[in-house]
Amino acid sequence: MKKSLKVVFVPLLVCFAQGVNAQNAHFQDIPVPDGFPQPEGMVLGGLHLDAGVTAGLMTTNNVYRDASHLSSEATQLAVSSTLTSAGERHLLIGTLEHYDQDFRDDAYQDMDLDATTATVFGRFVTSEITNLRLLLINEEDILGKTQSDQLNSFTSGHEQIQRVEAIFEVDNSRLFANVMARNDQVDSESSSGVQNNTLNRSERDYVLLAGRYFSWGRGFVFGGTQEVRYESSSSPVLAERNSDENRYGIGAEYQFGKFSGDLDIFRFTQRFRSAAIPDIENAWVGSGRLNYALNDAVALVFSADRRFHETNIPNSGGIFEENVFLGGAWSLASNLYLRMGPSYNRTELQNTPIVIDRFELDVELAWQINSNFEMLAMSNIFAQNAENPAFSSFDTQQAHTVLSIRYSL
């Protein structure tokens, strides 16, 4: 499954507590205004601990985010902790997060979730110009939240991802290069009968990257391979979806005055074991983000990306998804901020006439009661339509609101 290659530079520490936040992933890119007070955590010897608990009540008019338009309410609870050890020659970060969602109506038990996510990241200085980075993630989430899940006939169920990643880097403050190896084991369990376990797979990535520093930031080029192997006890024929991919691209991280951001663009060719699935030749994906910090009270973000997702749909190699997002954060008072932003999503199932457009709006209002307590009101609204009337079953709308209170050290 294609993801941004920025993880080659900075492994992303997954914040599973986003389950109680807005559902649009791009919305999370909006930074909280600098003037808004942030939790400081506490020092335990040579370690720094950040911890918090968030309890909320969610209401939605579309539990499954599809054309069924079934409404219900749910309680949500997220507990998170991060322990950091930093020294001259090492950085260790461990996170442990638990998320619980419980719908009031027993008819939606397949959307309930009780999951724990653990993340360990380490960076070790091995010489004056070399370092080694390691990342371990064990994450569980709900299926059915994304367009790719919906197209794959997953409206509910659970997905567990185990990631092991290692990066060895050479950096002399002018030039840098690194080599990355990553293995993802993805296990999916859905209550959709025949769809059970049909997206279980392993993914292996190998990427070589090289670049240099400039006055405005740094730029790089990269190339690599990916292997995707399916594993299914219910449908051995899925082995025909096994594929191999080659990729190459460019990227950058930059800052010009009050503007900053990053981008990566790469082309890939993916060849499938089955002759019934057309190979994907020289397709491109990538992402870009532009941040503008007007002052301590106002921050704006523009982001755009094109991504590719695996699919279990016959005769199709995958799902292409394009996103455009524009949002901002405003400090309304010393202890009050507003974040909001609209987005547009276009999803296309390769080698089929299915194209779906989605318009979405996310809003979050936060009030810092004191140094430890914060109240949040978050809403997500979207409307989507298939461009071809023959696929009107994908036409749907949703309004989703969460009221919560958070305690942080």
Q: What are the residues facing 245 on neighbouring strands?
A: 226, 270
- Per-residue confidence band for 236, with pLDDT thresholds at 50, 70 and 90: low
Residues 6+ apart with CB under 8 A from 231: 200, 201, 202, 238
pTM: 0.86
- pLDDT for res 237: 64
| Region 67-79 average pLDDT | 94
- pLDDT for res 94: 97
C-alpha angle 222/307/277, rounded to 5°? 95
- pLDDT for res 275: 83
Which residue type is seen at 320?
A: F
Whether residue 83 is predicted with pLDDT greater than 80 in this model: the reply is yes
Q: Is residue 149 within a helix (H) or strand (E), and if so which, with residue range?
A: helix 147-151
- Per-residue confidence band for 15, with pLDDT thresholds at 50, 70 and 90: very low
Could you list the beta-strand ranges (E) of 257-318: 259-272, 280-295, 298-309
- Per-residue confidence band for 309, with pLDDT thresholds at 50, 70 and 90: confident
- Per-residue confidence band for 81, with pLDDT thresholds at 50, 70 and 90: very high
- pLDDT for res 26: 82
Residue pLDDT, tens place only, 382-401:
999 999 998 888 899 999 99
Q: Please, are residues 373 and 407 in contact by the beta-carbon 8 Å criterion?
A: yes
Whether residue 47 is predicted with pLDDT greater than 70 in this model: the reply is yes
Whether residue 16 is predicted with pLDDT greater than 60 in this model: the reply is no
| Region 256-263 average pLDDT | 95
Whether residue 115 is predicted with pLDDT greater than 90 in this model: the reply is no
**What's the CA gap between 10 and 27, in Å, rounded?**
20
Residue with tokens 């790719």: 148
Q: For 45, left (φ over 0), alpha (ψ -120 to 50), or beta?
A: left
Q: Please, are residues 287 and 324 in contact by the beta-carbon 8 Å criterion?
A: no
| Region 99-108 average pLDDT | 92
Q: Mean pLDDT score of the chain, rounded to an integer? A: 87
Domains of the chain and any CATH numbers: 5-408 (2.40.170)
**What's the CA gap between 127 and 119, in Å, rounded?**
26
**What's the CA gap between 18 and 115, in Å, rounded?**
13
Which residue from 130, 95, 107, 103 is spatially nearest to 15, judged by alpha carbons?
Answer: 95
Q: Which of 20-24, 31-35, 328-332, 348-352 has the lowest mean pLDDT?
A: 20-24
Highest mean pLDDT, choosing among 25-29, 92-96, 196-200:
92-96
Residue pLDDT, tens place only, 122-176:
999 999 999 999 999 999 877 766 767 767 766 667 788 999 999 999 999 999 9
**What's the CA gap between 361 and 223, in Å, rounded?**
36
| Region 65-93 average pLDDT | 94
